[in-house]
Homo-oligomer: A and B are copies of this chain.
Amino acid sequence: MEYQIILIGCGTVGQGFLEILDRKAELLRDVYKFEPKVIAITDMLKGSLLAPDGIQLKKLLEVLKAGKKLNDYPGPKEKTEDYLDPIDLIEQVEADILAEVTYTDIKTGEPATSYIKKALRTGKHVVTSNKGPAALHYHELKELAHLNQRHFRIEGTVMSGTPVFHLFETGLAGNEIREVKGILNGTTNFILSQMELEEMEYDEALKLAQELGYAEADPTADVEGFDAVAKVVILANAIMRGKIKPDEVNRQGISTLRKQQIIEAREAGLRYKLIARVKKVNNHIEASVTPEKLPLTDPLAGVMGAQNALTFDTDLLGKVTIQGAGAGRLETGFSILSDMLAISKSGKN
């Protein structure tokens, strides 16, 4: 079945998604009966492109890889512009699915939340990898989707395309989830791994992470736990049915940890990890992001480097842990496709 797609944001994730659609077109059509047709893209830096008959992805990817803009797309099109406001675009263009992959603003969730609302209200399914709307407005957006009989899907917001929400919805269906706990930030996990395995001090490990592109010039969002807080709030609300806000999460980062503490823990058979945790306590939901010393028998203790992992503690299956990438161009791009396949499978066009 054909799905008309609007893409808001054409940076790393958006381009990763387009590349996957291009590479997998045949498989998606033949095996999954999913025929995506990207008809509009807008991006603050790269301009805008409308092509109601479908953008030829190979051509567009060549243009983007050459560092050019959407406006330079040479195929058949209705129009290009320096920048079409996503709100106008979503309102004016009929489509089946909005893929929202703009930047995360964890304070306001904007402007992405407005885009998502506009899309749901105009009858479009929404797929996003943006943590802002999911962390701040999950229940409101889910309710709006429900009212409009549309999907609102967020696989890419936690552990990029590693399928934590798919796992929860399908393989674990029927279980009560008593707790989720995980390593949700690759940067801090890389730093802690270096401090333990290479006996580096924190500053030295951070510098290496920055050199390798794992950490940003201002590493605050990662090392002080804010990124993991956004993700743990999403898990609390989407999986544990909580109604919590980021500032209700007990948060502690890793920047005050010293090599000495990590080595002492190791000598005691323990390993420091920045653990994001959500659990039910007396019928309400508590969430935290704090460094914890795990015994080496904990499945999360073995998760080294920039990997992520999440353990579901369930009533019927006991503990189930999924480990995989927590970031990446193709990995996060895949999360968008993955949610679209779930929409397609549900039979809603």
Name A's B-contacting residues (CB within 8 A). Answer: 20, 24, 27-28, 32, 155, 161-163, 166-167, 169-175, 296-297, 299, 301-305, 307, 316-325, 328, 330-331, 333-334, 337-338, 341-342, 345, 347
Q: Which B residues lie within 8 Å of A324 (CB)?
A: 317-321
Are B325 and A174 in contact, with the CB atoms below 8 A?
no
Q: Which residue of B lies closest to A346 (CB)?
A: B345
From A324, A331, A341, residue with most partner B Cβ within 10 Å: A324
Tell which of B171, B305, B307, B338 touches A173, judged by Cβ atoms closer than 8 Å: B338
Once the chains are docked, how many angstroms separate the CA of A302 from the CA of B338?
29
Count of chain copies: 2
Q: List, sorted by A's number, 9 A–B pairs whose CB atoms are closer than 8 Å.
A: A32-B174, A162-B317, A163-B167, A163-B171, A174-B334, A297-B305, A318-B328, A322-B322, A347-B347
Cβ of A331 and Cβ of B318 under 8 Å apart? yes
> Smallest Cβ distance from A36 to chain B, in angstroms?
11
Q: Is the CB of A331 within 8 A of B303?
A: no
Closest to A27 in B: B174
- On chain B, the residues within 8 Å of A32 by CB distance are 173-174
Cross-interface CB contact of A174 among B169, B173, B304, B337, cutoff 8 Å: B337
Q: Distance in Å from the Cβ of A265 to the closest Cβ of chain B?
A: 17
Given A20-B174, A318-B324, 19 new contacts (CB under 8 A): A155-B171, A163-B171, A167-B171, A170-B171, A175-B334, A296-B302, A297-B305, A299-B302, A299-B307, A302-B302, A316-B330, A316-B331, A316-B334, A317-B331, A317-B334, A319-B324, A320-B324, A322-B322, A322-B323
What is the bound-complex CA distance between A173 and B337, given in angstroms?
9
* B347–A317 touching, CB < 8 Å: no
Instruction: Known contacts A320-B323, A325-B318; decide if A28 and B170 are in contact (CB<8 Å).
Output: no
Residue of chain B at shortest CB distance from A160 = B317
Say yes or no: A299-B323 contact (C-beta < 8 A), given A167-B171, A338-B173. yes
Residues on B with C-beta less than 8 A from A167 are: 163, 166-167, 170-171, 322
How far apart are A270's CB and chain B's nearest CB, in angstroms? 14
Smallest Cβ-Cβ distance to A171: which chain B residue = B163
Q: Contact: B174 with A163, CB < 8 Å? A: no
Q: Which residue of B lies closest to A169 (CB)?
A: B170
